[in-house]
Amino acid sequence: MLTLHDVKELFHQKNGIIGDHLVFHTVSIAPNEKMPKGLFIVTDDVRDTFTAIEHGAIAAIWPKGQEIPRWIPNYFPIFTMESSFTEAFFDLFQKTLKKMKQKEWEQMIKMIYFKDQLLNDCYFTYDIAEDKHVKALQACLEARLEGRG
Share of the chain above pLDDT 90, in %: 11
Maximal CA-CA distance, the chain: 46
> Given this model, what pLDDT does residue 129 score?
43
- Is the pLDDT reported for residue 137 higher than 70? no
**Fold entry, domain 2-146:** 3.40.1390
Q: How many CA atoms lie within 13 A of 83 on its CB side?
A: 12
pLDDT in tens, 19-31: 668 888 888 888 8
* Domain boundaries along the sequence of the chain: 2-146
What is the average pLDDT across 47-75?
88
Burial class (CB in 10 A: 0-12, 13-18, 19+), 110: middle
> Given this model, what pLDDT does residue 46 score?
66
> Is 42 within 8 Å of 83 (Cβ atoms)?
no
Strand locations in the chain (E) = 2-3, 12-15, 23-24, 26-28, 38-41, 57-63, 78-81, 110-112
Which residues lie across from 61 on neighbouring strands?
A: 41, 79
| Helix 85-102 / helix 132-146 crossing angle, nearest 10 deg | 50
pLDDT in tens, 79-123: 988 888 788 888 888 888 777 766 655 555 666 655 544 444 444
Rounded Cα distance between 16 and 69, Å, is: 13
Other CB atoms closer than 10 Å to residue 46's CB: what's the count?
Answer: 19
